[in-house]
Chain A
Amino acid sequence: MRRRRPEGTSVTRISITVDGTTYEDDVEPRRLLVHHLREQCGRTGTNVGCDTSNCGACTIHMGGTSVKSCTILAVQADGEEITTIQGMAEKAPGVRDETEGWHPLQKAFHVEHGLQCGFCTPGMIMASAALLAENADPSEDDVRQGLEGNLCRCTGYVNIVRAVRRAAAEMRGEPLTTSPEEGTMGEADVTERAGDADRLRDVEVAP
């Protein structure tokens, strides 16, 4: 169905189902799916980090596979079922136990500190979910290669890889043996010297 908008741009009626809710909208044919999701469907959990389809921040699931929603026009998604990061948890947010109902990947990113600023995280989780759908028990290298299309600037990827493998183990029903409390930076060889404390007492707090 094509109609003319007052400014002379043609629009097309599309119907997409996002995280279980169906949205019918008139959109310009050139409109990117990611902008439609963010601005018309309220899915601001899906982010835009580049303009060349390199960063993967906008990754969603459409038709059962992960796609970068900046590479698709909204009109191409007509009739599709889409899942965004906001549809990954089983339960609405705001419950007292915040982790209840979370997808294993959401829990694992939290537990393994697989995020810092969190801007790449929605795309990372969506890409990781697609990776685990294809490979339930990925090696470290499988995860690294599988997430090549998603950039993170904060974490150095170490904890992202740990998180994906942790979620994979949980999804396979295996017991989780490692705990982040056992991370390498917890204990240190302490070389504290007598006298440090005395010097510290000289520090004054400005009024």
Chain B
Amino acid sequence: MTALDTPPTALNVGRTRLRKEDARLVTGRTQWTDNLQLNGMLHVALVRSPMAHARVTNVDVSAALEQPGVVAAFTGADLVSNWEGGLPCAWPVTEDMAAPVHLPLATDEVRHVGDAVAVVVARSKYQAADAIEHVLVDYDPLPVVTDMEAALADGADLADTSLSSNRSYTWQKIDGDIDAAFDGAAHVTTRRFIQQRLIPLAIETRSVVCEPPTHSREYTLWSATQVPHILRLMLALTCGVPEHELRVVAPDVGGGFGSKLNVYAEEAICLVLARHLGVPVKWTESRSEGFLSTIHGRDQIQDLSIAFDADNRIKGLKVELMANMGAYLQLVTPGVPILGAFMFNAIYKMDALSFTCHGVFTNKTPTDAYRGAGRPEATFGIERLIDEAAHELGVEPFELRERNWIKHEEFPYDTVAGITYDSGNYEAATAKAKELFDYDGLRAEQARRREADDPVQLGIGISTFTEMCGLAPSRVLGSLSYGAGGWEHASVRMLPTGKVEVITGTSPHGQGHVTAWSQIAADQLGVDYEDVEVRHGDTAVAHKGMDTYGSRSLVVGGYAVVSACDKVVAKARKVAAHLLEASEDDLEFDRGTFSVKGSPDATTTIQDVALAVFAAHDYPEDMEPSLDSDATVDPENFSYPHGTHLCAVEVDTETGHVHLRSYVAVDDIGKVINPQIVEGQVHGGLAQGIAQALFEEAVYDADGNLTTGSIIDYYAPSAADLPTFVTDRTETPATTNPLGVKGVGEAGTIASTPAVINAVVDALRPMGVNDVRMPASPRNVWEAMRSARDASATGRSELGAREGGAA
């Protein structure tokens, strides 16, 4: 392997290439799953529980069967024999983890609003939607569990009557001597932070089409999924369809953000219905339905303590989490919060870290990976805590960070959590961010406004984040009880005309893999960028892969493309040497051309070699007539992007309104393949992290009803709510992949939430505000100001009482 060498020709890598994907997308020549119309296709609608927790005593579909256009209707009991098991959870984090059986259609108990109990199949979707109104379901209400702390109390009502408690698991990891760290501490800062529940809201809702075998024995299932390969395996196991008789296709997929990283009830139901009815079926989620039936994100209570010595150096950090699983464990639900065990220490050096996470069942929609998955929660916790500690210690927040962060010369650095950060330069990113932000100028303005008692206060928020992504080294995943590896696969085929097909196991849904993988392959092979096509997202084409999530695609999948290309070049070199009657050692390869050292006329191109190998009239005896190559790479480490983000907010202390005035993001994501795509990933990530800080929350009432049940009530930001972000980057190449790249898909989301909330709290600090509950809506800001005022008044009166008593 070449090591951090410039690829054979760097005509493409590192440069903006306009995306190959765009032509279809801007002209509407798309193939979203819901676009598919197959002959005889029927439409599926689900009957969903309106109650958060109830015993299902009877389901009667007979009236629905009489409705116009209805072809079939089934209850949970009707379909139960189709399931080999429940829907899969691939991450049993502890041996004694409680995991309720999660049937695609509930039979006797519903555990959250939206839990499906029956399915109707009709000739049109309108008819199916009409007919589900005629399914009669008798529910016997059961106590509803919505609050995590109450759920863990002795004698609590159960969110699932088949379990003995609402605790799914308690997972603990202690690194270093945590007691010693706290016993000798000069200062301890303790806080509780709340990660509110979020709805991922990919703009394309989920959709599934399943066609039974036609010309072969194969079922074809199209789904708006991030994970066609994982889905194929898991559906085969769940529904008892042999894996080799199931093809899964992810056609154009309209965003995911983790919400399509799953194996959903509707995918299993459509497969079983196609098998049972022998005709194609389609289900497309409505948005409001999706708010109930597609996974949610975050929802965590964080109790944190950090201990410092007299020099303000971090001694230790205690983390105790309650993580809301919701009603069931979806694909990786329990594993998401435990990623915090490696991330709460963030960029800081410390002697000890204690991490405990309690997974808790409630009668709410299941949570699972949402952009960042465990790392935004941890980053928020530590970056907020550092600001609070700086306030208590009376030091500038940057000063406290600099005192404790890993210095550039200390890389590679083995963290307290037992992983190795390969590269980074926190000093460089911070210096650049401060310069772009005019940090000193804004601090001066802040002082002026405070002095003038301006009703609109300025706040400055810092986030010096890192994260672990590029999931992942298979051995590490194994040690965390994850059910699969983290490798990725690529195939490179040289066609007779010199064109190149790259087949990737990653499954893009907006990330531009076709463009970026073309850039990589073009440079590695020395062919024209336009001569490369990238295929993905269909298990019949890309037969092997681990799909797209966790900012892994470039770091692992791009690495696989490089490795496969290297193998193609090695084979082509052998053939070229044979054709040129030269020794392989005497061949040079540059920009797609093999030439013999010292004989400038003796040349051939890799594309000519491809044609010669296709003809196969003359090739070395000890090889097959093929240049095509596969590579499966398993990363040796995660990837650790980092950066410094700075946020300025103006907070109207009379209304609680927060105006996001400026945002600077300087990210170090190592080498860059396509700067424009990278910038787009950062922009989008920022918007989602800022949305958590300022706008979004999935709210349930005490009966377990989602009161933010549509986009009317769930405030996803529009263009009018956000500023133009200032983005820049510094570069310390990753040392664990040949491209030197780090993941970028989630960095903006992970970094930005604490930057914004730190800014809001900073603006209000003179009023005694030490926290604002997310989202920092006018109401939550106003309540933070009021409670600070009340606390200060109470403090004064208590003081007064004591003084009075003494007098």
Question: Do A and B bind?
Answer: yes
Residues of A within 8 A of B (CB): 7-9, 28, 30-31, 38-39, 43-52, 54-55, 57, 84-86, 88-89, 93, 98-99, 102, 106, 109-111, 113, 115-122, 125, 140, 143-145, 147-161, 180-181, 183-186, 188-193, 196-201, 203-207
Q: A52-B710, A86-B28, A203-B737 are in contact. Are A113 and B730 (CB under 8 A)?
A: no
Cβ–Cβ < 8 Å partners of A102 in chain B: 26-27
Give the CA-CA distance A64 to B547 in the complex, in Å. Answer: 43
Partner of B428, one of A111, A183, A189: A189
When the two chains form the complex, which single residue of A7, A155, A156 contacts B68, counting CB atoms closer than 8 Å?
A: A7
- Which listed residue, A8, A184, A201, A207, touches B727 by the CB 8 Å rule? A184
- Provide the residues of chain B in CB contact with A109, threshold 8 Å: 22, 26
Give the residues in chain A near B28, CB-CB below 8 Å.
43-46, 84-86, 122
On chain A, the residues within 8 Å of B682 by CB distance are 185
CB-contact partner of A50 in B3, B24, B679, B711, under 8 A = B711
B17-45 Cβ-contact flags toward A at 8 Å (1 or 0):
01101111111111110110100000000
Contact for A52 among B35, B126, B288, B428, CB less than 8 A: B288
Q: Which 10 A-B pairs have the closest CB atoms?
A: A45-B28, A118-B25, A119-B254, A117-B510, A156-B683, A7-B68, A156-B687, A116-B510, A188-B731, A85-B28
Contacts of B141 in A (CB 8 A): none
- CB-based contact B22/A161 at 8 Å: no
Confirm or deny: B16 has a beta carbon within 8 angstroms of a beta carbon on chain A.
yes
Taken together as a complex, chains A and B put the C-alpha atoms of A120 and B202 apart, in Å, by: 10
Given contacts A51-B286, A117-B254, contact A184 B726 (CB under 8 A): yes
A89 touches B27 (CB 8 A): yes
What CA separation (Å) do A126 and B357 show in the bound complex?
A: 48
Considering the chains assembled together, what is the distance between the CA atoms of A14 and B786 in angstroms?
59
B461 contacts the other chain (CB 8 A):
no
Question: Known contacts A52-B711, A118-B30, A156-B686; is A190 also within 8 Å of B287 by CB?
Answer: no
B245 to chain A, nearest CB (A): 28
Q: Are A190 and B711 in contact (CB-based, < 8 A)? A: no
Q: Which residues of B contact A192 (CB under 8 A)?
A: 4, 731-733
B676 lies within 8 A of A203 (CB):
no
* A190 in contact with B4 (CB, 8 Å): no
Q: CB < 8 Å: which of B27, B34, B204, B205 contacts A88?
A: B27
Which residues of the partner chain B approach A205 to less than 8 Å between Cβ atoms?
1, 563, 631, 633
- CB <8 Å contact, A121 and B727: no
Residue of B nearest to A28 (CB): B126
Residue of B26, B286, B487 most packed against chain A (CB within 10 A)? B26
The distance in angstroms between the C-alpha atoms of A160 and B730, with both chains bound, is 25
Residue from B257, B423, B511, B719 with most neighbouring chain A CB atoms (10 Å): B719
Nearest residue (CB) in A for B744 is A185
Please report B residues at the A interface, Cβ cutoff 8 Å: 1, 3-4, 15-16, 18-19, 21-32, 34-35, 37, 68-69, 126-127, 201-205, 252-255, 257, 286-288, 408, 411-412, 422-423, 425, 428, 432, 487, 509-512, 563, 631-634, 636, 668, 672, 675-680, 682-688, 710-712, 716, 718-720, 722, 724-733, 735-738, 748
A119 and B127 alpha carbons, distance in the complex (Å): 26
Asked if A7 contacts B203 (CB within 8 A), the reply is no
A45 touches B30 (CB 8 A): yes
CB distance from A176 to the nearest CB of B (A): 14
Residues of A within 8 A of B68 (CB): 7-9
Residues of A within 8 A of B204 (CB): 47, 49, 117, 119
For B200, the closest partner residue in chain A by CB is: A153
When chains A and B are docked, how far (Å) is the Cα of A139 from the Cα of B408?
A: 42
Nearest-Cβ distance from residue A82 to partner chain B, whole angstroms: 13
Give chain A nearest CB distance to B136 CB in angstroms.
22
**CB-defined contacts of B412 to chain A, threshold 8 Å:** 199
A183 with B425: in contact, given A153-B203, A203-B1 (CB under 8 Å)?
no
Inter-chain pairs besides A120-B203, A122-B28, A185-B682, 5 sampled, C-beta below 8 Å: A84-B28, A117-B202, A153-B203, A161-B724, A201-B3
Residues of A within 8 A of B422 (CB): 199
- Of listed A39, A85, A119, A120, residue having the most chain B CB within 10 A: A119
A200, B4: Cβ atoms under 8 Å? yes
Bound CA–CA A191/B254 (angstroms): 36
The chain A residue with its CB closest to the CB of B752 is A156
Provided the pairs A50-B710, A183-B675, A184-B679 are in contact, do residues A98 and B23 lie with their beta carbons within 8 angstroms? yes
Q: Select from chain A the residue with minimum beta-carbon distance to B677.
A: A113
* With known contacts A46-B28, A109-B26, A185–B727 Cβ distance under 8 A: yes
Chain A residue numbers with a CB within 8 Å of B255 are 116-117, 119, 153-154
- Chain B residues within 8 Å of A51, by CB: 286-288, 710
B205 touches A49 (CB 8 A): yes
Task: Tell whether, in the assembled complex, residue B26 and residue A149 are in contact, meaning their CB atoms are under 8 Å apart.
Answer: no
| Given A51-B288, A52-B710, A125:B677 Cβ within 8 A | no
Cβ-defined contact, A159 with B252, below 8 A: no
**Given the complex of chains A and B, what is the CA–CA distance between A9 and B22 in angstroms?**
41
Residues of A within 8 A of B23 (CB): 93, 98-99, 110
A189 contacts B432, C-beta separation under 8 Å: yes
User: In whole Å, how far is B256's beta carbon from the nearest beta carbon of chain A?
Assistant: 8
Bound complex: CA A43 to CA B634 (Å): 43
Question: How far, in angstroms, from A158 to B19 measured CA to CA in the complex?
Answer: 17
- Is the Cβ of B254 less than 8 Å from the Cβ of A156? no
A120's nearest neighbour on chain B, judged by CB, is B203
Q: How far is the CA of A188 from the CA of B716 in the complex (A)?
A: 32
Q: CB < 8 Å: which of B22, B203, B286, B288 contacts A119?
A: B203
- When C-beta atoms are compared, the residue in chain B nearest to A103 turns out to be B26
Asked if A55 and B18 sit within 8 Å, CB to CB, the answer is no
**A197 CA to B3 CA in the complex, in Å?**
6
Q: Hey, which chain B residues are within 8 Å of A121, CB to CB?
A: 25-26
Among A28, A115, A207, max chain B CB count under 10 A is at A115
C-alpha spacing A158/B682, complex, angstroms: 10
Q: Which residues of A contact B512 (CB under 8 A)?
A: 116
**Contact A118 to B18, CB < 8 A, known contacts A145-B720, A159-B680, A185-B676:** no
Q: Which residues of A contact B736 (CB under 8 A)?
A: 200, 203
Q: Is the CB of B15 within 8 A of A181?
A: yes
CB distance from B10 to the nearest CB of A (A): 14
For B31, the chain A residues whose CB sits under 8 A away are 44
A156 to B747, CA, bound (A): 14
> Smallest CB–CB gap between A187 and chain B, Å?
8
The reply to whether B675 and A185 contact each other, CB–CB distance below 8 Å, is: yes
B contact residues around A181 at 8 Å (CB) = 15-16
Chain B residues within an 8 Å CB radius of A50: 287, 710-711
* A9 CB, nearest partner CB in chain B, Å: 7
Q: Inside 8 A of A160's CB, which chain B residues have their CB?
A: 719
Given A144-B719, A157-B722, A205-B633, A115-B676 contact (CB < 8 Å): no
Residue of B nearest to A152 (CB): B203
Could you jot down 11 A-B contacts, CB within 8 Å? A30-B126, A49-B204, A86-B29, A110-B22, A116-B680, A125-B26, A149-B718, A156-B684, A184-B728, A185-B729, A205-B631
Tell me how far the C-beta of B527 lies from the nearest C-beta in chain A, rounded to whole angstroms: 19
| Contact A52–B287 (Cβ < 8 Å) | yes
* Smallest CB separation, A197 vs chain B (Å): 5
| Least Cβ–Cβ distance between B541 and chain A, in angstroms | 20
- Are B735 and A200 within 8 A (Cβ)? yes
List chain B residues, Cβ under 8 A from A185: 672, 675-676, 678-679, 682, 727-729
Beta-carbon contact of A154 and B731 below 8 Å: no
